[in-house]
Structure formats: structure tokens, C-alpha cells
Amino acid sequence: MRIRWILFFGAAMLAGALGGTWFGPAPAGAVAREIIELQSGVTELIQGQQSLQTQMTQNAAVQRTLIEQSLDAVTKLNTSMSAVQKTTQDFSAASGARLDTMGTQVQGVSDNIADLQARLGKLDQKMTDVQNTLQSVDSKLAAPAPSASAPPAAMSGPGGAMPPSAPGAALPAASANPPASADVLYSNGLRDINGKHYDLATQEFQDYLRFYKDTDLASNAQFYLGEIAYMQGEYQAALDAYNKVTENYPKSFKIASARMRKGYCFAELGQKASAIRELRAVVRLYPGTDEAKRAAAKLKELGASAG
């Protein structure tokens, strides 16, 4: 029993010695080495932080420079865009004026064609009348000559004057403006409006309406009076002229153009609601026509839909 306790205490002492060897404090040299290594690591960390801070400062400077350059570029771009927008607006305004002038010229050409067709029809009628007259002359020449014994009194009145014509006898044609006068007056009006001689064109179309108000081209003359006023910026006078086209000539082929122009006049006079109403009516009543397309473009310009 005693031997057993001695062996137990011996084993315990051996275990304590081994534990002290394993878990005891490290020698002073090892501790100093670890401290030095730790200081080296801290120094490297500080240097790395300083290097990183320097790099970030440089990057920030580069980014600031790039941002300033970008702002300068955006400013220049805005300036360029403003110049382009102004140029576009000026070009659009000039194009609109050219289109109006071209539209008037095209309408003039169309009217000239219609006028030429009317002249051809009248010429054909005149040819027919001439042929009938020639046939009548031929038939009279083929008739027997009157008797030579007819008394001279039947041929002349007192003093050698011709006696009054008998009832039913042919009379000279009454003096009147020939159909060509209306054509010439109308053609001159078209020529002067295209040449921008607006005063002359106004007088010529007014004369046409005064003397030939019942002809096929009377509504055209009335329409061109509105065009002259519109091109001179007299929008109320133009509106009155276009109203006469729609009121006095409801079957004229200028109705669509007159109503479109009425919408333009309302817009120029600041009556936006009336302009939109009139232009929408043109789009609805005359689909697919040039007037409908121009009315839709004007509605878009006014910020309104065509429907």
C-alpha cells in the first residue's frame, strides 16, 4: 500500500515537471523577437495606409479633373444644341413660308389647267358655231338670186339710209365682254400674285368678281383675295375672304383649302379653340388630301391632336 502511494506521488511530480516545461512562460529572447516582428508589421501597415491614402488623393484629383472636363463638354453641347434648335426653328419658319408660296403656285397651275380646259370647251363650241354659220352661208348662196326688178325703195330709205330691219331679221351681235376677257383678267391675277404684285392682283380679282361673279372660276378669285391678305399678314381680312368662299360657293373645289386657311387665320389671331375646331373639321371631312395633311401638321404645332 505504501509503495503504491509513493509511485502515485512520483508520477504526479513527473507530470508537473512536464507541464511546467510545456506551459510555462517563454524565454525572454523569444518574447523580444515577437515584439520586433509585431512592430515591423505595424510599420508596414502604416506605410501601406499612407500609400493607399496617397493613391486615393491622386485618384480624387484625376476624377475632379475629369468631372470638370465633362461639365465643360456638357456646357458646350448645350450651347451647340441651342444654336441647332434656333437654326431648326428658323429653317422651319422659312420652309413654312416657302411651302405656302409653293402651294399658291401649284394651285395657280391647277387653276390654269382648269382655265385651259374651259377655253378648249369654248373653242370647240365656237368651231361648231362657225361650221353652222358656214353651212348657213352655203345654203343662202345656193338659193336663187332676188329679182332685178325690185324697187330701189326696198333697198334704201329716204336720203339713201338703210330702213329699219323687219321683224325677225338678223341683227348685229350686241356688244359685250367676250369670254376671253374673263380669262385674261383671271390669268393676269394669277401672274401678279405669283410675282408678288399683290395690289395689282387684288384689283384684278376684284374686277373679275365684279364682272364675272357667276363663272366657274369666281370662287377661285375669291379664294386668292384671301391668299393675298394672308401673305400680307392681314389675317382678319383673309378670314373674311375665306368665309365668302365657303358661304357663297359651297360646291367649289377650293372649300377644303379655304377651311384650312381659316384655321391658320384663327391661329394667327390668337383664337386657338376656333383654329383647332376648324383644322379638325378639315382632317375629318377631307381625309387623305394635302389640306388634311397640312391641317394635321398645324394641329401638332398647336399642341392638339387631329382626332
Q: Summarize pLDDT for 65-85 with one digit per residue, the tens.
A: 888 888 888 888 888 888 888
Alpha carbon distance 86, 78 (integer Å) = 12
Q: Which residue ranges in the chain fall short of pLDDT 70?
A: 1-28, 92-101, 105, 110, 112, 114-115, 117-180
Alpha carbon distance 214, 184 (integer Å) = 16
> How many other C-beta atoms are found inside a 10 Å radius of the C-beta of residue 290?
13
Residue linked to cell 343662202: 140
pTM confidence score: 0.47
Helices (H), the chain: 2-23, 28-142, 179-194, 198-211, 218-231, 235-248, 255-268, 272-285, 290-301
Q: What is the pLDDT of residue 111?
A: 73
* 24: phi then psi, degrees, rounded to nearest 5: -75, 170
Q: Summarize pLDDT for 198-217 with one digit per residue, the tens.
A: 999 999 999 999 999 899 99
| Pick from 225, 265, 222: nearest CA to 246 | 222
